[in-house]
């Protein structure tokens, strides 16, 4: 059985080409909007712990604001090393609520 919990509302989602941080349970989640596709992943960059939700979108990658590591928001893979991954979390929309499965 899956357990989705409310992350935010659709009106709070980042606009296209941006990322944003959301607190949920005991985590901070990075939500990215890449070409209209919303995805959620762990907010902590594996390199030095940078806040991914404060990064920028370049092409289809999210760029960490601290040292420029690039991440694929759909898969969580680092652009330079697909073996390096941050967690990606399923999202769904129910009415105006954005629900996440941690």
Residues 58-75 have pLDDT tens digits of: 999 999 999 999 999 999
pTM, entire model: 0.94
Residue labelled with tokens 């995805």: 39
CA distances from 92 to 17, 23, 27, 67, 100 (A): 20, 17, 18, 31, 7
Q: Is 96 exposed, middle or buried (0-12, 13-18, 19+ CB in 10 A)?
A: exposed
Q: Which range of residues forms the domain containing residue 79?
A: 4-101
Q: What CATH number is attached to the domain comprising 81? A: 2.102.10.10
Residues 12-36 have pLDDT tens digits of: 999 999 999 999 989 999 999 999 9
Structural domains of the chain, count: 1
């Amino acid at each position: 059985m899956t357990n989705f919990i409310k992350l935010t509302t659709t009106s709070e989602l980042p606009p296209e080409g941006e990322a944003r941080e959301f607190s949920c349970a005991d985590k901070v989640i990075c939500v990215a909007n890449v070409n209209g596709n919303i995805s959620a992943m762990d907010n902590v960059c594996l390199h030095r712990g940078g806040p991914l939700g404060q990064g920028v979108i370049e092409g289809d990658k999210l760029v960490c604001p601290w040292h420029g590591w690039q991440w694929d928001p759909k898969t969580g893979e680092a652009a330079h090393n697909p073996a390096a991954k941050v967690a990606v979390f399923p999202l769904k929309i129910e009415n105006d609520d954005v629900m996440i499965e941690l």
